[in-house]
């Protein structure tokens, strides 16, 4: 960017750095969604889980209470290992009856 205005130059620099990162994150999320979907359709995973929604870097699932722990294990493992990277991917899980009631999942 060759603008004489520092704010315009700074904005262009931020975009140049941010766009590849956002694109990569979106690709990783899509890969995770595909792998989770495939695992849910395989007979060895007879989990009554429905992938409802993706919002930016979040996935929302509907899971019966008695299947939550097993579903979280499969989903977290899939998402954290969808692609081998130099840094580990870390998945934060929250559960609740509705989106407004989500609380961090504490393993029993």
Considering the entire predicted model, what is its pTM? 0.80
Question: Which CATH number describes the domain made up of 6-104?
Answer: 3.30.70.370
The domain limits of the chain are 6-104
Residue-wise pLDDT for 50-108, tens only, equals 999 999 889 999 999 999 999 999 999 999 999 999 999 999 999 999 889 999 998 75
Residue 47 sits at φ, ψ, to 5 deg, of -90, 135
SS3 state of residue 50: strand
């Amino acid at each position: 960017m060759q603008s004489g205005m520092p704010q315009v130059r700074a904005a262009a620099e931020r975009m140049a750095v941010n766009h590849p990162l956002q694109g990569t994150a979106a690709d990783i999320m899509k890969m995770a969604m595909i792998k989770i979907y495939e695992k849910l359709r395989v007979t060895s995973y007879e989990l009554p889980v429905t992938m409802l929604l993706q919002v930016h870097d979040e996935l929302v699932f509907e899971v019966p209470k008695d299947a939550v722990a097993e579903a979280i294990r499969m989903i977290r493992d899939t998402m954290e290992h969808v692609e081998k990277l130099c840094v580990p991917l870390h998945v934060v899980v929250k559960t609740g009856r509705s989106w407004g009631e989500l609380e961090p999942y504490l393993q029993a």
